[in-house]
Amino acid sequence: MKRFFELLCMITLLVWGGLFLYFYLSGRIERFLDPSFRLYALIAGVGMIILGLFNLLTIRAKAVGCDHDHSHDHSHDHSHDHSHAHVHGEVVTDIHHHHQEDTASSLAFALAVLLIPMLVATGYSKDAFSMDYLTKWGKIERRMQQMRIAEQMAEQAGQPPARSSQATDADGNPYTFEEGEGPGDADTPPDPDGGGDEWGEFTLDDLKELVPQNDEGEFLLDVPQIFYTAGDRELMNVMEGIPVETTAQLMEETLHNANNNRLKAFRLFIECCAADARPLSIPVEFPEGIPAYTEMGWYTLEGTLHYADEDNAIVPFIKITNHSETTEPNDGLLY
């Protein structure tokens, strides 16, 4: 029995190492782990396989080494009390028997916990998140973003500044900000001398230097980049109404959709691994109504970027002028 469990331990090491190598070589690891950690997964897989093979090759040698003759001359023990020796032997044997049973059952349970969930998850995982997960965490991320904006506003002069009355409405009227109004200067660097003129204002030319454009002059922005512009007065003043292109997945929009002409464009953002993946989303508005689309399908979206003040929340959204179905990009997950 002991030999059997030793063998099973070696097989467990080989299985784990093999799975690590499989995920790395097949590319499935890209759906689970940040690129900076993938090399460590490869090293761990190779290490476990080497350790497992080494123990398999040496287990027989260990067994042969332990099969030597332990016989000794016990003729001098014949004078001992045979009844006492018999009772003592039964007690020791019973304790040893129960100890072996406890150890075997504990080891069997531990190996089952290590092997079964890993193999089941590998076989049945779709390497993607469910619709419920994306819907739930998408709402949470939007609310957290609005809380951050509210906190930034409250830090200015000890109270929230008034919002502009020219917020974009459902018809797409531009959302502009006057000096001292709007959601604030959350990302404006502080002026060490108390002035500010030397820093200059963020302009469209600055945006062109930072963000690439396609042949049509549309700014190539990811959904998270657009998502985090909400609340920055300077950025919104410059980016309001600019033409943009983005690639994202589409799903039903359940927030701020009174006219039922919006969908949700989202991308998954990962800081370390799939366990901390967060869907960041923005509404995309179709002036002529929601077209036929594939839920969670990938699309190239073109249109103009706007900001709306809806239910005391600053919402960036794209008014779509053109969209087309596409394949998942190589950087389907953003890190």
Domain CATH code at residue 217: 2.40.50.140
* 165 part of a folded domain: yes
* 240 part of a folded domain: yes
158 and 14 housed in the same domain: no
203 and 307 housed in the same domain: yes
Of 66, 54, 51, whose CA–CA distance to 2 is shortest? 66
* 60 part of a folded domain: yes
243 and 262 housed in the same domain: yes
Residue 334 pLDDT level (bands cut at 50, 70, 90):
low
Tell me the pLDDT of the chain averaged across its residues: 75
| Residue that terminates a domain, selected from 75, 90, 124 | 124
Residue 180 pLDDT level (bands cut at 50, 70, 90):
very low
149 and 181 housed in the same domain: yes
* 306 part of a folded domain: yes
- pLDDT of residue 308 exceeding 70, the answer is yes
Domain that holds residue 37: 2-64+98-124
* DSSP-assigned beta bridge partners for residue 320: 303
Rounded distance between C-alpha atoms, residue 268 and residue 232, angstroms: 22
Residues 6+ away with beta carbon under 8 Å from 248: 223, 265, 266, 267, 298, 299, 301
245 and 153 housed in the same domain: yes
114 and 185 housed in the same domain: no
* 80 part of a folded domain: no
Question: And the tokens for 272?
Answer: 């370390």
* 11 part of a folded domain: yes
The whole-number pLDDT of residue 317 equals: 95
161 and 32 housed in the same domain: no
pLDDT per residue as tens digits for the range 202-257: 899 999 999 999 999 999 999 989 998 887 888 889 999 999 999 999 999 988 88
* Over residues 159-184, mean pLDDT: 42
* 88 part of a folded domain: no
110 and 159 housed in the same domain: no
On the 0-12 / 13-18 / 19+ scale of CB atoms within 10 A, 260 is: exposed
53 and 138 housed in the same domain: no
pLDDT per residue as tens digits for the range 239-250: 999 999 999 999
Number of separate domains in the chain: 2
181 and 210 housed in the same domain: yes
35 and 150 housed in the same domain: no
